[in-house]
Amino acid sequence: MQSRHNLPGWLGVNIGLKKKKAIPVSALQTMYRHWGFFKAMVDNIQMIIAKADLNIARNYAGLVQPESLGQTIFSSLHGLFEQTKKSIISVSKQKSLLENNQMLLRSITLRNPYVDPMSYMQVELLRRLRKEKLTESERRELEEVMFLCINGIAAGLRNTG
């Protein structure tokens, strides 16, 4: 969650939905409407995707060395993310994520302006902690701010982070 990829919540979902001998989308849509477990699972994935922020995730990918490796991995994940997002929207018969849960969409939308700056700050703190020669005191101060960011992001996203 901290990197805003939210990988464990969506990575692999699209592969399952698009498998060679997969269930037709119409059948998945029927399952979504009539099977509570499947609906809850799809809605949870939808929430996780809605909380992801790939602009922030791209900044975390920029910390990977060599940078080209980070960008290659990020590009691959970005493509999978978009495919999964489209599949979830299709299965739930919506035009956009969380169309069927406006209260949650509004909650996420209202929290992001507070969470996003902490995420960008965390990327910069990681960069400084990794690259700069710091005194023991400076390192402790940056680590303290890092822990505050971790807790703030977790609280803002309302997940363990």
pLDDT tens sequence across 15-56: 888 876 778 999 999 999 999 999 999 999 999 999 999 999
Give the pLDDT confidence score for residue 157 in this predicted structure. 87
Per DSSP, helices labelled H in the chain are 7-10, 13-17, 25-34, 36-51, 54-61, 67-91, 102-131, 136-157
| C-alpha torsion 102→59→78→36, nearest 10 | -30
Residue 35 backbone zone (phi > 0: left; psi -120 to 50: alpha; other: beta): beta
- Looking at residue 19, its pLDDT comes to 78
**Region for residue 22 given its phi and psi (left: phi exceeds 0; alpha: psi -120 to 50; beta: otherwise):** beta
pLDDT reported for residue 160: 54
Which tokens is 46 given? 């939808």
pLDDT of residue 90: 96
- Between CA 59 and CA 64 the distance in angstroms is 10
Q: What pTM, to 2 d.p., does this model score? A: 0.88
**Angle, alpha carbons 96-97-99 (nearest 5°):** 70
Residues lower than pLDDT 50 in the chain? none
pLDDT of 53: 94
Residue 131 has a pLDDT of 84
